Structure 1
Amino acid sequence: MNAAEQRELAVSTFNRVWELLDLPERTPEEIDEMTHAAHVSCYVWSKIGGPANVARGEWQCARVYAILGRAEPALWHAQRCLELTEAGGDGFEDWDLPGAHQALAHAHVAAGNLNEARAWAALAREELEGVEDPEDREVIARQVEELGLEP
């Protein structure tokens, strides 16, 4: 597989995961597809992308597991996303850090750690002030609000 084909695989699997995340309900087959596609995308980005691509892949894995209520892998991938984001490097944008904190909030909700979730959600909200693009701000703010945690 050449570099262009690898990139297409990483992008298409990432986008497919988003489609599946957006479904109101998923079949067992769709859950399997969503889980595997998130890992494929993250893996391929780890081979051909930069640190930001890998961090976003970890974010997506965390999101999938949090949505499925699988706390341990959600927490692991969310923490990995945060570590990569804090380490920095090429390709990061101003919304990546609040996004990583939002992922940890979701993962802690899945684990039933509501105080931890509130703390990560509050941190994500605070950092949204530094996000220039209103659409980027809105996406992460909406994801934090989905948690239903009071500030």
Structure 2
Amino acid sequence: MTEFKTSQEKEIHKKLAIDLFNYTWDLIEKNNRSEADDENMVNAAHASRFHWGLVGTLLNFARGEWQISRVYSLLGRAEPALNHANKSLDLCLNNNLGAFDLGFAYEALARAYAVKGDKQKRDENISLAKQAAQNVQEDGDKAWLLKNVDTVATLSLPKWE
């Protein structure tokens, strides 16, 4: 973690990380995104991850990589989606970040493989995501993970309720 001259600097980076993550999420859910929105979505996701890299935890890193992968999958860019999904998965596996985030890392891989057109690897990762979901204790979290996994084959996105 980076050393800051003041605690205020750390708080600024944390606020930026959170705000940029949420801004990216808003763009992910936006109907009829423009080309400028798509570019902002990519840049905001990377910027959020950058700021988390300065002040966050391994969990923040994994979720940031997951979000970047989601963005690239939405844009039909399989290779960067796979790259960031694999980073999220590595963080989850190497640091025991829990079944919820592990399931979402597999969901990101499945979605990226769906974009790539590799149905076998898509389905393998869907299966791994569903296996991880069985170990999620919180019913709402399990349902949200499975709702996301269920949209991979159609490359659609569930609505947050």
Query: Hey, what does 2:57 align to over in structure 1?
Result: 50
Which amino acid in 2 is paired with 1:112? G
Q: How many residues align?
A: 147
Output aligned runs, 1:1-151, within 5 Å.
2-88=9-95, 92-148=97-153
Structure 1 residues not aligned, in runs of 5+: none
Q: CA deviation at 1:147?
A: 1.7
Cα separation, 2, equivalents of 1:120 and 1:65: 17
Q: What is the TM-score normalised by the length of structure 1?
A: 0.93
Q: Secondary structure at the match of 2:33?
A: coil
Q: CA deviation at 1:25?
A: 2.1
Query: Could you give the per-residue CA deviations for residues 35-88 of structure 1, whole angstroms, max 9, x where no partner exists?
Result: 000000111111111111111100000000011100110000001111111111
Cα separation, 2, equivalents of 1:8 and 1:100: 24
Matched residues, percent identical?
A: 33
Cα separation, 2, equivalents of 1:77 and 1:147: 17
Q: CA deviation at 1:93?
A: 3.7
Which amino acid in 2 is paired with 1:6? H
Which amino acid in 2 is paired with 1:35? V
Calculate the aligned-residue CA RMSD, in Å.
1.3
Query: Could you give the per-residue CA deviations for residues 7-48 of structure 1, whole angstroms, max 9, x where no partner exists?
Result: 000000000111111123210111011000000011111111
Cα separation, 2, equivalents of 1:53 and 1:138: 21
Q: Secondary structure at the match of 2:99?
A: coil
Cα separation, 2, equivalents of 1:22 and 1:105: 19
